[in-house]
Structure 1
Amino acid sequence: MASGDVMANNVEGEEKGAPLATSDQLDEFTVVKRKRKASVLDSMEQDESAVSEAKRPNFPPLTGQALTSDGGKLEYRRIAVPPHRYTPLKENWMKIFTPVVEQLKLQIRLNLKTRHVELKTSRFTVDHGAIQKGSDFVHAFMLGFDVEDALALVRLDDLFIDSFEIQDVKPLKGDHLSRAIGRIAGSGGRTKFTIENVTKTRIVLAESKIHILGSFQNIKVARNAICSLILGSPPSKVYGHMRSVAGKLSERF
């Protein structure tokens, strides 16, 4: 065969291409493609699990070896720090740090990245409710109570915090809402101080939110007085009713 014929045959073979695959071979090809896709998905899931593990919280997870002094597991609490309470927290940090560590035997730290106060029990913790008392103490300070007032939650067991909004009592907007807040506070805060002294509670006015710290019965009396002021009752009438109820409570004890 001449060389020219060989070249012609090669050109014809390239133009015609390889023979078509059968149906069985096509099925094999599709199976191979599916296997490749599955392997890609598996690698993606592994990457997502690696990312989720990298975003773990600062405190390590609970393990069977992490035990307190009485053999219980370690407990954690996180309390968010509002922006307006960040500076007061730094100024009063030692006042908060000392009772939590010395009295409750807890570990405490301020996470600057997440802006959270983190509490953790340790092997020196004896009281089962220490972690709850510590979180209530820090949470009360974040709501706006003084450190000395919030410290009562650590020393006493029958104190609570009740929070509600003016909108829960009566839907008010604009100037009506401002006047309601003014009636609760009074001139120079006298009305609020009077309610606190008569009912033996502590009250924080945070815009339209109201937080009351005290015992259950005293919180009830103070809340009723504040609701009456929101609804428009004159302060003199509220004072008289409040004193009579507070007197009955003192006689009962």
Structure 2
Amino acid sequence: MAQVIISEESLSSEFGHDQSPSEPNACHTDSTDVVFDALRPHQMNAGMAQFRRIPVPNNRLTALRNHWAEIYTPIVDNLKLQIRMNTKTKHVELRTSPETEDIGVLDRAVEFIRAYLIGFEISDAKALLRIEDLYLQSFNVDDVKHLTGDHLSRAIGRIAGKDGKTKFTIENATRTRIVLADKRISLLGSYQNIKLARDAVCDLILGAPPSKVYYKLQNISARLKERF
């Protein structure tokens, strides 16, 4: 039987390892990097548009109808998104268009609409479209302490204060916006400021007197002024 002998020289010659350093490598590419144009949102996801749907509570249908022009104008003109109100399913529907430059604006538009539907003023909700570091956070009174009956009413009363004084004080000291809707408490602001406002609200839910919370808010407000 004939023997086949494979030497290192034959292997090196076959796979091109015997090339001298001066010879160009077969896998070497041109020194000029290839630069591809950025993909637009309508080119991503196999060419399909990104889509979002936000349910509208029954108690906000009339307000949404009255302020519809103020809602769709910045979304269509500034963010280059498409929007419509589906009256059958009671949902606001959003999707990207070929003119959309950044797919991230879709999430910002969703947060803007959610903030308005929760109960924030439309001027405050629009800040979510302009400022990237703003967030929306909601929690229930039961998440802090389980309260029922008069105890729950008194806790909500402590948060609101007489004529809304306590709520306004928390908002001004922490530079946030607060919406009280039954047991639901929603906050709008930067991450750090939301934490400060949430701590003040939780203290009131747990039974702290407003005077003690005011004192803490004065210190918080002084620190924020020094920071900015």
- Shorter-normalised TM range: 0.7 to 0.9
Please point out which of 179, 199, 203 is paired with 2:178. 203
Please point out which of 57, 71, 75 is paired with 1:96. 71
User: Which runs of structure 2 are paired with 1:216-231 in the superposition (5 Å)?
Assistant: 216-231=191-206
The aligned residue for residue 128 of structure 2 is 153
The aligned residue for residue 163 of structure 1 is 138
How far does the alpha carbon of each residue in 1:203-229 deviate from its partner, in whole angstroms, 9 at most, with x for none?
000100100000011101110111111
Give RMSD over aligned pairs: 1.4
- The alignment partner of 1:110 has SS state of strand
TM-superposed CA distance for 1:196, in Å, is 0.7
Contact 1:68 1:121 in 2 (8 A): no
The aligned residue for residue 71 of structure 1 is 43
Closer/same/farther in 2, CA of residues 83 and 69 from structure 1, 3 Å limit: closer
User: Which runs of structure 2 are paired with 1:90-239 in the superposition (5 Å)?
Assistant: 90-239=65-214
- The alignment partner of 2:43 has SS state of coil
How far does the alpha carbon of each residue in 1:141-176 deviate from its partner, in whole angstroms, 9 at most, with x for none?
111111100000000000001111111111100010
How far does the alpha carbon of each residue in 1:44-98 deviate from its partner, in whole angstroms, 9 at most, with x for none?
xxxxxxxxxxxxxxxxxxxxxxx94673241000000001111100000000010
Structure 1 unaligned blocks of 5 or more: 1-66
- What number of residue pairs does the alignment pair up? 187
Contact 1:221 1:246 in 2 (8 A): no
What amino acid is the match of 2:155? A
Q: TM-score normalised to the size of structure 1?
A: 0.71
Quick one: distance in 1 between partners of 2:44 and 2:121? 33
Quick one: distance in 2 between partners of 1:90 and 1:70? 29
Identity %: 55
How far does the alpha carbon of each residue in 1:15-56 deviate from its partner, in whole angstroms, 9 at most, with x for none?
xxxxxxxxxxxxxxxxxxxxxxxxxxxxxxxxxxxxxxxxxx
TM-superposed CA distance for 1:103, in Å, is 0.7
- The alignment partner of 1:212 has SS state of strand
TM-superposed CA distance for 1:232, in Å, is 1.0
The aligned residue for residue 57 of structure 1 is none
Quick one: distance in 2 between partners of 1:245 and 1:183? 19
Quick one: distance in 2 between partners of 1:143 and 1:69? 29
Structure 2 unaligned blocks of 5 or more: 1-38
Contact 2:177 2:187 in 1 (8 A): yes
Quick one: distance in 2 between partners of 1:248 and 1:126? 39
Query: Counting helix residues as a fraction of each chain, which structure ranks higher?
Result: 1
